[in-house]
């Protein structure tokens, strides 16, 4: 099936640091979304992107829809402890159905020991 | 709270038993989705409804799985003759139509353990 390659798989953050993660695919997407999931809970929608090149912010989070429509990135500025969790990118394929979001495997954010 | 709700949150069952999960979407949303998530993976699409019509089913949805949304409001997902490989988190999401269809809002999930 279709794959979204999300990197890094995991990272450690120290409070106040900026964080970057990205998602790439060999296929073209018409929508990119970013979700955060805490243990034992469902994913929470953070940002939705609809146009190539679009840059959207939600508080300390900024995400961009790549101009090739095959990638997206998420930045978190000045991280705080509650940013810990798993971040998923998800996309809607151009030639896919309207119901089927394809998810990456996630980037796990942990606090530096 | 008007978010997506799922019941039960946890279910432990023995192999071979049938289980049924319920999802109540956000009230003004007419689209409802089911996903499955295993450890270390992102959610995988199973099926979705627009109102009461089931519009798409994934190849992951074997014959032992059936989903319904009889009145276009809540939905149920039934798994018959459960197998250990069915152990996973089952997530429900809902959305509106049009551009909002892509913004899917998830419930807390039902964690299924098949022993």
Q: Is B51 left (phi over 0), alpha (psi -120 to 50) or beta?
A: left
A74, burial (CB in 10 Å: exposed 0-12, middle 13-18, buried 19+): buried
pLDDT of residue B79: 98
Q: What secondary structure letter does DSSP report for A14?
A: -
pLDDT of residue A78: 95
pLDDT tens string B15-72? 999 999 999 999 989 999 999 999 999 999 999 999 999 998 998 888 999 999 998 8
Q: Report the SS3 class of residue A81.
A: helix
The answer for A 29-68 residues in CB contact with B (under 8 A) is: 31, 33, 35, 40-45, 48, 50
Q: Report the SS3 class of residue A84.
A: coil
pLDDT of residue A96: 64
pLDDT of residue B102: 81
Kindly report the length of chain A: 113
Other Cβ atoms less than 10 A from the Cβ of A3: the count is 12
Sort strands B75-79 and B65-68 into parallel, antiparallel or unpaired. antiparallel
Q: Report the SS3 class of residue A83.
A: helix
- What residue in B sits closest to A4 (Cα-Cα)? B42
pLDDT in tens, chain A (113 residues): 567 899 999 999 899 999 999 999 998 998 999 999 999 999 999 999 999 999 999 999 999 999 999 999 999 999 999 999 999 999 988 766 667 899 999 999 998 87
CA distance A105 to chain B (A): 5
pLDDT of residue B99: 67
Q: Which of A31, A50, A103 sits opposite B43 (nearest CB)?
A: A103
Mean pLDDT of B83-100: 91
Q: Which of A50, A97, A101 sits opposite B104 (nearest CB)?
A: A101
Q: Is the pLDDT of residue B1 over 60?
A: no
**Chain B residue numbers touching A90 (CB-CB < 8 A):** 42-43
**Per-residue b/e over A33-47, b at no fewer than 16 CB within 10 Å?**
bbbbbeeebbbebbb
pLDDT of residue A103: 95
CB–CB of A102/A43 below 8 Å? no
The answer, for B40 touching chain A at a CB cutoff of 8 Å, is: yes
């Amino acid at each position: 099936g279709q794959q979204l390659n999300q990197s890094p798989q995991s990272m450690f953050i120290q409070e106040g640091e900026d964080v970057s993660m990205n998602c790439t695919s060999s296929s073209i997407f018409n929508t990119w979304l970013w979700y955060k999931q805490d243990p034992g809970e469902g994913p929470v929608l953070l940002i939705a992107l609809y146009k190539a090149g679009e840059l959207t912010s939600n508080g300390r989070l900024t995400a961009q829809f790549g101009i090739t429509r095959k990638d997206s990135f998420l930045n978190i500025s000045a991280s705080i402890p509650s940013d810990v969790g798993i971040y998923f990118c998800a996309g809607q394929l151009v030639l896919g159905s309207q119901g089927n979001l394809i998810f990456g495997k996630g980037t796990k954010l942990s606090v530096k020991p | 709270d008007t978010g997506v709700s799922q019941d039960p949150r946890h279910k432990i069952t023995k192999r071979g038993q049938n289980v049924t999960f319920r999802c109540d979407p956000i009230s003004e949303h007419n689209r409802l989705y089911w996903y499955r998530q295993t450890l270390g993976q992102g959610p995988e699409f199973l099926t979705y409804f627009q109102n009461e019509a089931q519009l798409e089913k994934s190849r992951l949805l074997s014959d032992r799985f059936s989903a319904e949304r009889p009145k276009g409001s809540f939905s149920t997902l039934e798994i018959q003759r459960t197998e250990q490989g069915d152990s996973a988190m089952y997530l429900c999401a809902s959305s509106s139509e049009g551009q909002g269809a892509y913004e899917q809002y998830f419930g807390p999930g039902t964690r299924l353990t098949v022993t």
